[in-house]
Amino acid sequence: MQPRVLLVDADPALQGLLEEWLAADGCAVEAGRSGADGFDLIVVDIPCPRQGCSEGLKAIAEAHPRTPILALSSSFFPGVDTTGAVARALGVAGVLPKPVTRGGLLDAVRRLLPYCK
């Protein structure tokens, strides 16, 4: 069964790239708002986690308490521990700095969804 991934708040160019990379890795990808259920992973693009945008993450986490969330932001420093202190502070399963590389994205997704390719 294909893992279902929801992309939230990604700009159109990034969304297209993430969809392409995730689909090529065997994930079924849907873009939109966080209201839908039944996803195995939610990927959220957040512009400024320190300036109140983390409230949106908390709302998504509350709406999907059993679904891991991977937060992307250009505010995260390169080399940040994907599942470390920053992720815990934001209440998400993982964080990933932008610009995102294909390898970085797929490594993070595979850690959160071990049954992806």
12, with CB counted inside 10 A (0-12, 13-18, 19+), is exposed
pLDDT band at 5 (very low <50, low <70, confident <90, very high): very high
The domain spans of the chain are: 4-112
- Helix residue ranges per DSSP H, the chain: 12-24, 54-63, 85-90, 102-112
Structural class in CATH, domain 4-112? alpha beta
pLDDT (average), residues 62-79 = 88
Q: Tokens for 48? A: 């400024």
Contact 35, 62 (CB under 8 A): no
Q: At residue 82, does pLDDT exceed 90?
A: no
% of the chain beyond a pLDDT of 90: 44
Specify the pTM: 0.89
Say how many CA atoms lie within 13 Å of 3 toward its Cβ.
24
